[in-house]
Amino acid sequence: MSDSEDRGVPLIEPEFDATLPDKKRKRDDSPEQTAESKKASKKAKRKEKRKAKAKQINEDDLDQELGVNHAFERMDSQLVADYINSRTRHYGKDLSSVELDEKYIPSYSIKDTSSWSEPRTKENIAAFLKSQSKDLKATPDKPTGAPHTIVVTSSGIRAADMYRALNEGLPKQGVKKLNVAKLFAKHIKLSEQVELLKKKKVDFGVGTPERLSALLDKKALNTANLKRVVIDVSYIDQKKRGILDMKDLHEPLVKLLLRDEFKEESWGVKFLFF
């Protein structure tokens, strides 16, 4: 009897040792299983790193003078998706994993705009669009109420500012003969916008999530020509909050982006986070 057995100490089977004969190796430590587990572990670590990086919005990123969160300037499609979805998890703590999965924005629906390094202020929205798109000009034969570009903002006041910025900036970028529609609630009734969209051809629409969803529900806003939805995500208010930083704005935005109209043709409509 060994000393260990004599003292009542259980014998511990040694870990996998490549120098031992095959019959003494642990059954669950085959090279194939080890490789698979390592691969899964690396994948999980990469995913956690992306999530951590997406959450890294520092105080220095919040430029109150310009009203801009500079963090989005360096985020690629995957990081933007990770950040949005992390906010969805934060606001949906009472939801099941299945319910949360249905609210996630896939990274392949997002256009990578990280190569555009200018500050994402309203004065630069026209230059941003021109740099990211080749087909911003008016199309004479399009149906009424069918813009090729929709800009989504956090409030009616911000939408009005972006509306003016587009009207002033696009001609300077060589984009002329365009029609920009006001699709937000500030001083404009829903019924008035419905009538406008049914009668008028528009190239750009600027609005807020809930009003845009209402116009889609009314079948007044037509997505037949829609190619891009631009989310004014970098803008922050005086409290340094953006459209993703408030539950009552984040949830209507995600609901809008996940509408069936935008999913047609395997997400043919691209989301650009400005």
Predicted confidence at residue 106, as pLDDT, reads 94
For the chain, what is the mean pLDDT?
85
- Burial of residue 20 (CB within 10 Å: 0-12, 13-18, 19+) is exposed
Provide the residue ranges of all domains of the chain, joining segments of one domain with +: 40-273
Predicted confidence at residue 186, as pLDDT, reads 77
Q: Indicate the pLDDT class of residue 213, thresholds 50, 70 and 90.
A: very high
Enumerate residues 6+ apart whose C-beta is below 8 A from 120. 68, 72, 73, 128, 234, 235, 274
Q: Indicate the pLDDT class of residue 67, thresholds 50, 70 and 90.
A: very high
> If one looks up domain 40-273 in CATH, what number appears?
3.40.50
Enumerate residues 6+ apart whose C-beta is below 8 A from 14. 20
Cβ–Cβ < 8 Å for 179, 255: no
> Could you read off the pLDDT of 226-271 as tens digits, one per residue?
999 999 999 999 999 999 999 999 999 999 999 998 886 556 799 9
How many Cβ atoms are within 10 Å of 227's Cβ, its own excluded? 15
| Mean pLDDT calculated for residue range 15-36 | 53
